[in-house]
A and B are shown apart, each in its own frame.
Chain A
Amino acid sequence: MKERELPAHHQVALDGAQHNAHRLATFFPPLIMSARALAAQLAQGVHGRRRAGAGDQFWQFRPLYMGESVASIDWRRSARDQHFYVREREWEGAHQVFIWVNRSATMRFRSDDNLPSKEERALVLALALSDLLVRGGERVGLMGMSPALSTRRIIEHFAQCFETQSEAARHAPLPPAYAPHGSRAHFVILSDCLSPLDELAACISALAQQGARGHVLLVHDPIEETFPFEGHVELSDVGNIEHMRFGDGAAVRQRYIERFERHRDDVDQLCRAQGWSCARHRTDRAAAHALLSLQMHMAGDAAMDAFYMRDVSGLDV
């Protein structure tokens, strides 16, 4: 029922490098390992998106079709034998996935020492997802921290980016409003979305302006869903600033649950309004479950994109 080793109201006070170094030393390696394991679990079903299309990378040589322009013949290859070959480039849509993890104070909460904090779970999911996506041929980046990349060691790279994230960025409860993205970008937001709805709506609509798709995964702690408090209880927020006292927690429980569900439904509505999808995850459930659903959503989106792309790519731009 407390922060890792420190109560929440001490958390904000400790901002020095010492604290960061301690965290850095102990925090990420296990995350990396779990992310890799998670990705390995699901990597078998992932197919590469390897096919021909417009892009920069060389893909394959194909024979010349009748009527195709002569300028596209690759003379070097064609000189090897009697036929004419055209260099075909990989299909490389401006399809980038940008992930953002909420690392603010509310995410750093865990209710039980056996459970990971929401931030940990979100980070693990982010790293594993990025690995899966890279294996599947996508390019993944971190919003505000890293451009879209497609390296093999994406997990380590992103881990390093997370480690060196600035404090100000870490405390932000909402994704940065301005994110450089191409025309086709996917946003994956891993957060508990406990901010006020209007701010959330503004953020999402800002991100979805140019038709970008997105996916929000709500990560919550089990007590946030179940409200297991009994009797006389005093609750405080993570900054230990606000306190609320209840004579009987059990009496409040039902109303709180309704309110919570309503909030989540509102977030869901918000996402759907922008054409985004929303999923829920509890830290006591298996991470693989969330990752799988994420991945399926992404695949669905990609299929939709591919569908749209075929129409357009016939022009071979």
Chain B
Amino acid sequence: MFDLPLAFASPWVLSALIGLPILYYFLRMMPPRPRIYIFPPLMLLRDIITPQQSAQTTPWWILILRMLIAAALIIAVSEPVLFPLQPVSGAHQGPLVVMMDDGWTSAASWQSRRAFALAHIDRAEEEGRSVALVPLSDAGHEIIMSDAAHGRERLNGLSPRSFLPDHALFKSHLRAITALYPHAHIVWLSDGVGGYGAEEFAAALDDAVSHADVSAEIVRDECVPPLIEGVSNPVEGFDVAVKSFCALSPAPSFVRALDIKGRVMARVPFTALAHQMTHVRVALPLELRNDVARIELENVASAGAVWLLDDHSHRARVGLVSDEAYDSAQPLLSASYYITKAMQPFADVRYERDDISHALDNLVRDHPALIVLADIGALNTQSYGLMDDYVRKGGVLLRFAGPHMLASADDLEPVRVRRGGRVMGGALSWEQPKHIAPIDSTSPLFGMRVPDDVLVRQQLLAEPDVGLRSATWVALEDGTPLVTAKKIGQGMIVLIHVTADTTWSNLPLSGFFLDLLHRISDEAVRVSGPSQDQPPLVKPEVHQSPLLLAPFRILDGFGVLGAPPASAHALSFDFNGPVSVEHPAGYYGTREGMKALNVLMPATTIEELDLTPFHLTRASLHAPAPIDGRGFLLSLAFILLLCDGIARICLSSAWRPRWAMLALMIVALMSFGVHEGRAQMRDKPMPTEFYEAALSTHLAYVVTGDGKVDSTSRAGLMSLSRALAARTSLQPADPIGVDISRDELSFFPLLYWPIVANRPQPPAQTLDRVARFMRQGGTLIFDTRDALSQRAGYVTPEGQWLQTMLTGMDIPPLQIVPANHVVTKTFYLLTHFVGRTSVGESWIEALPAPSDKMDITPVRAGDNVSPLIITSNDLAAAWATDAYGAPLYPLIPNDERQREMALRGGINLVMYVLTGNYKADQVHVHDLLERLGH
């Protein structure tokens, strides 16, 4: 009768609806009783009132109201259910086989799939059938029937993988199952993606349905989630190719660019239409673009919506050769300086200062996209051959003019050059320096903005041949070329007719120079193509033998980077195969040099699975859940009863109390609504004691609950604060004891935490707060105070406590404070940190290893302040003095000088935390060198 999928659990109750007309009759005849008043002259009324008028009928709307109430109650008792689960037809009562697609294409709707499978498993359990749950990535095992509990366990243990499994491997298993269990019911939770053997698998299922007596259904999502097919890095910004399979919702979706730490650097909206490739431009400044580590689609939890970037996608490789003799003391006079500086944002410039032929040899071996010759005149034969070869095979050669080229040149040039350039604006010339003319439309550089402050005083001229016009990319005002280029073989030679330094023009000083070089290098990358670019993907100086890269971080099916699973193997640096179980998508290598492997190869596409040739039952994943109508109907009946009560009040003829009763009832009703709707979170107002904390710097200690330790911490930090006030420019206020689980930690740069082994471990929320504190730049000093009881191979209770606490947290690798760490030099020059004892070691975040043997600095620092420092000498006890300055605790090697050193260590720590690593600069290098005996 209705189109609504409505079912009743007790439909026989609905027969009570027949009683509604009888109810109507009674309600009509028995109107509600009004108040009775005594009226002596009633007999007078008898004469004037006709019986018709005196008979009272119920108003029609009360009738309808009451009948609605009765109807609602009757229907509610019959338990209506909207969208009931369809029962399986009786013929197929065999076991249930649920085959789940668990590649990354099903990650976006993973929860619905799980819920769907769970619903089916539950129903199979109700009907007493055996169940098998088969993930399609696991083709190695046969399908074994078991009970629903095992099926659910298996289901809970599944998560989407970051590769697409081959469905064709399951054909034999399918045959086995259909042979064993003729009445099986197979449910295939498909991801809707074709390829990878899905069509063959569907054909096998179809076969099984038609020839054997199994029933099968395919359950699919309405559409495959969108994915990123490729990212390129042209001049204007990242170009992200997004493929979407169905129209996304009208709200714009976003493409996000994230850096290595997961911070969002750009967020670009785009709208995608169905079955289309959309190119989204993510514009970022050049300097920031190299920090981008991944590009992903927002709110799509799938590995296909993530594209990992590594160095390879960032920068072009450029080799630079010049034979200047300028030393690094006068960098602004050397052409290589300008070129390197200009190309650094977008290219890796490798500068060879060797003899030219050796230099060229080295460079070419690297297969750079672009080789720049800064004022090299004629090349010798061997180099000429090398360069010629390089260009013909698809390399780009960029030459700058200069005195050498003026004197002698070879014909590795785009145009014929006239020896003897032109000088303008000199003492004996009559011409003015020229500006650059606007670029005309035939040039590949058309569209670049030409500045009007570039003046060319001297240039290399070209012979006015026929092809000069077409070879000119940029010309000066009078038509003489500034940049010319010519294709040779698969590559190109570009000549800039001025020097790369400022002697001939001020071009290197302008932004136009950068843009020009960037465009040229982009052209180079485009021309050279990926086949030419077969580089060592990690810097050779980092990996001495870069043959195999170990997995570093692996992407799981949801697109989240995590630790590599056991099945991931190392790959070679020139691996360019598809992802698989052994080589899942993610980063390989080390933090300095990573290779990214993405789920999609550059040339592969994903298409939807076409199910039309198969006669399989199709179902949708997102069938609406069954809705119980009872609650709705009962509340409707209740509301109608309330309305009826109000109606009675209105109809009764109480003179004065009528409006009062009505108002009372309305107020009572409103009080129902008042208590709901307060679920929104409100910001807690800050307790007033922390106004104080925000207004000045306080040293803070964590209240451990042990009274002696807390009072020691307080006294110690108090005397440290006094020492800081006396000796440095910092004027901290009194130290504050902080309850680590409740108080706001962001006011304190430094948190001193003395470890007490017998206190309970902090709960997970507290650990989250601590982690957040450290992530936001705070520093925790853990003081285990057990230096005397430490032995090799034995973990003290405090150490155990600290280890347990820090196990779940993301802390950086630690090392013992090296003697040249900046923390030992920030105020006083120290060697190590002492407290009440002096034998314990202090641990701090590990610094990156010194990168270059040449630039070893006397003081090393990392980029950030270390988020934690672990020490085992009891620092607070050494600092603690009473109000008069007399020390409270004796020191272990009873040396008062040690107390002074402890105080100095504390001052250094505070200074380190507050100022970071600025002390690692070169300002004090002479003093430092003296002290360190260099």
Contact = CB atoms under 8 A, between A and B. Distances in A.
Interface of A: 1-3, 7-8, 106, 109, 192, 194, 196, 221, 223-224, 228-238, 240, 242-247, 249, 252, 255-256, 259-260, 263
B37 A1 contact: yes
Nearest to A231: B653
B56 interface: yes
A232 B47 contact: no
Contacts of A244: 42, 45-46, 49, 54
Interface in B1-48: 31-48
Contacts, number: 104
B56 A235 contact: no
Contacts of A233: 34-35, 37, 653
B56 to A, nearest CB: 5
B39 A237 contact: yes
B651 A232 contact: yes
Nearest to B57: A247
13 contacts: A3-B38, A196-B43, A232-B31, A232-B56, A232-B652, A232-B653, A234-B34, A235-B36, A235-B38, A237-B38, A244-B49, A245-B34, A255-B49
Nearest to B51: A244
Contact of B653 (A109, A229, A236): A229
Contacts of B53: 246-247, 252
A236 B44 contact: no
A8 B38 contact: yes
B672 interface: no
B655 interface: yes
A256 B45 contact: yes
B56 A230 contact: no
A238 B40 contact: yes
Contacts of A260: 41, 44
Contacts of A221: 40
Nearest to A242: B42
Contact of B40 (A2, A106, A263): A106
Contacts of A240: 38
Contact of A259 (B32, B35, B40, B48): B48
Contact of A249 (B32, B36, B653): B653
Given A1-B37, A232-B34, A232-B56, A237 B42 contact: yes
Interface in B43-80: 43-49, 53-57
Contacts of B43: 194, 196, 237, 242
Contact of B35 (A7, A234, A243, A255): A234
A252 B45 contact: yes
Given A244-B45, A259-B44, A223 B34 contact: no
Contacts of A109: 38, 40
Given A236-B36, A244-B46, A260-B41, 8 more contacts: A2-B38, A3-B38, A106-B40, A194-B43, A234-B34, A236-B37, A252-B53, A260-B44
Contacts of A236: 36-39, 42
Contact of A245 (B38, B47, B54, B652): B54
A221 B38 CA distance: 12
Nearest to B38: A8
Contacts of B40: 106, 109, 192, 194, 221, 224, 237-238
A234 B652 CA distance: 11
Contacts of B653: 229-233, 249
B651 A231 contact: yes
Nearest to B653: A231
A223 B38 CA distance: 10
B34 A255 contact: no
Contacts of A232: 31-32, 34, 56, 651-653
Contact of B44 (A7, A238, A256): A256
B651 A234 contact: no
A252 B48 CA distance: 9
B60 to A, nearest CB: 13
A246 B31 CA distance: 12
A86 B37 CA distance: 68
A256 B48 contact: yes
B9 to A, nearest CB: 42
A16 B35 CA distance: 30
A223 B53 CA distance: 21
B653 to A, nearest CB: 3
Contact of B47 (A247, A249, A259): A259
User: What bracket does the count of chain B residues touching chain A fall in?
Assistant: 20 to 34
A259 B34 contact: no
A255 B48 CA distance: 7
A232 B658 CA distance: 13
Contacts of B54: 244-246
Nearest to A246: B54
Contacts of A8: 38
Given A246-B53, A249-B653, A235 B37 contact: yes
Given A1-B37, A106-B40, A194-B40, A235 B655 contact: no
B655 A224 contact: no
Q: Which of B46, B55, B653 has the most CB of A within 10 A?
A: B653
A109 B39 CA distance: 9
A229 B37 CA distance: 9
B655 A223 contact: no
A236 to B, nearest CB: 6
A235 B42 contact: yes
Q: Which of A3, A228, A234, A240 has the most CB of B within 10 A?
A: A234
Contacts of B44: 194, 256, 259-260, 263
B37 A234 contact: yes
Contacts of A259: 44-45, 47-48
A109 B31 CA distance: 29
Report, nearest first, the 5 A-B pairs whose CB atoms are least far apart: A231-B653, A106-B40, A237-B42, A235-B39, A232-B34
Given A231-B653, A244-B54, A259-B47, A224 B41 contact: yes
Q: Which of B32, B38, B653 has the most CB of A within 10 A?
A: B38
Nearest to A263: B44
Q: Which of B45, B46, B56 has the most CB of A within 10 A?
A: B45
A193 to B, nearest CB: 10
Nearest to B651: A232
Nearest to B55: A245
A230 B650 CA distance: 12
A263 B45 CA distance: 11
Contacts of A2: 38
B38 A246 contact: no
A7 B42 CA distance: 17
Contacts of B33: 234
A247 B651 CA distance: 10
A252 B49 contact: yes
Contacts of A243: 36
B400 to A, nearest CB: 105
Interface string B701-742: 000000000000000000000000000000000000000000
Q: Which of A196, A229, A232 has the most CB of B within 10 A?
A: A232
B905 to A, nearest CB: 91
Contacts of B34: 231-234, 245
Nearest to A3: B38
A253 to B, nearest CB: 11
A223 B39 contact: yes
Q: Which of A3, A8, A235, A237 has the most CB of B within 10 A?
A: A235
B655 to A, nearest CB: 6
Nearest to B31: A232
B537 to A, nearest CB: 92
A182 B220 CA distance: 117
Nearest to A262: B44
B38 A238 contact: yes
A260 B40 CA distance: 12
B47 to A, nearest CB: 7
Nearest to A228: B655
A223 B44 CA distance: 14
B273 to A, nearest CB: 65
A230 B53 CA distance: 15
